[in-house]
Structure 1
């Protein structure tokens, strides 16, 4: 865009998206009298999924506001915990976030995950069709207009990713109720029901089992249970 400028100041939490911003978080932006403020903010690098309140000369405005020359804009981050209206809180994770998906499921959070790259249009369409919050580190994906809701995953470390998403959305946690493989619900199962999945040593050593109602996978408190319990206890104290 070429034309008169507005002054845009970003909150510190958003500066990682704005390489051109000055140390104070401010940057000039050209106006054309047509483009919305939401478009201007995204053109500067910040997905609207990460934007909370937009202030123009101190007053709140919607992303559809068309800025006038000389206006002073403040861009705040989303409030935490972030409320997602209109549907039960459910997530969709892109192909790069498999570990985060499994940990959310371990905590009983509905977290769909695509283990293969189905492409940005399909992911955004699934988010809209199933009304799921799309989690991604792909800024371009989070700018797609057909997206129902989304959130940028700020860290590359699964521990930090999980903490950040739980802090941001505060989902209800119900550990050990979802299949970490497919996201389906778990139910208690008898040893006989899952016998075809058990080695002889497991059959002798364990008596308590669960089974996924979607994929049929069996679960029991095996060798890795202590490691998983440590993750659960971090967020759901006993």
Structure 2
């Protein structure tokens, strides 16, 4: 690029995306004179899904703004909680976020998940068709224009990932209402209705069951219930029911 030079400063939370030399203060950036500010920001490594306001010389502008020489640009992070207009809040997670998907479902959040690597075009198309917020750590995927909405998952640790998503989007929480395997809704079930899925010890020890309306999987308060309950309790304590 050999066009007008501008000065860009990123919000602290966005500096993880940019080279070390651009992580503090305003830094000079050469533009080509024809690219939009949104394109310039993305070329520096920051997905637009993570950008809130773009402020040029003290005034908010659109991503379609064409930078001019000596512009002073402030790139702000998205506000939290982040409003998602239109459809009910639903998520789509890529193949690398299976544990996060199961934890969101545990909390009753509608979280579709692709267990196979179906490719970025197919994921983006599903996000658009079903109006789901795409959650991913793949910046290339989040740059696809056909996405309905998207968000970068900043951590690699499931506990931190869950807190990040709940804090950013504030979804309504309805624990124990979704199948952690397929995202279907759970309904109460009698022991007879799920008998074929129960081992002898489970059949003798438990009397309260639920069953997924989509895949038919049975649920009860088994050996791992305390661990799951701890995840639910932490989420409800910090984020409420939404």
**Inter-partner Cα distance in structure 1 for 2:39 and 2:71:** 15
**Inter-partner Cα distance in structure 2 for 1:159 and 1:141:** 23
Count matched residues.
Answer: 238
Aligned to 2:125: 125
Farther-moved stretch of structure 1 (13-22 vs 73-82)? 13-22
**Inter-partner Cα distance in structure 1 for 2:225 and 2:11:** 41
Q: How far is 1:23 from its partner?
A: 4.6
Q: Output the aligned Cα RMSD.
A: 1.2
Q: How far is 1:3 from its partner?
A: 1.2
Q: How far is 1:4 from its partner?
A: 1.8
Change (3 A) 1:190 1:61: same
Where 2:22 maps in the other structure, the secondary structure is coil
Where 1:236 maps in the other structure, the secondary structure is helix
Cα deviation digits, residues 178-217 of structure 1 (max 9, x gap): 0000000000001111111011111111110000000000
Farther-moved stretch of structure 1 (21-30 vs 97-106)? 21-30
CA contact (8 A) 1:15 1:21 kept: no
Cα deviation digits, residues 29-54 of structure 1 (max 9, x gap): 22233211100000000000000000
TM-score (norm 1): 0.97
**Inter-partner Cα distance in structure 2 for 1:120 and 1:4:** 33
Aligned to 2:177: 177
Cα deviation digits, residues 151-173 of structure 1 (max 9, x gap): 00000000000001100000000
Aligned to 2:157: 157
CA contact (8 A) 1:33 1:67 kept: yes
Change (3 A) 1:35 1:24: same
Where 1:204 maps in the other structure, the secondary structure is helix
Change (3 A) 1:74 1:189: same
Change (3 A) 1:23 1:150: closer
Gaps of 5+ in 2: none
Where 1:193 maps in the other structure, the secondary structure is helix
CA contact (8 A) 2:189 2:210 kept: yes
Aligned to 2:36: 36
TM-score (norm 2): 0.96
Aligned to 2:67: 67
**Inter-partner Cα distance in structure 1 for 2:118 and 2:213:** 25
Change (3 A) 1:23 1:113: closer
Gaps of 5+ in 1: none
Aligned to 1:208: 208
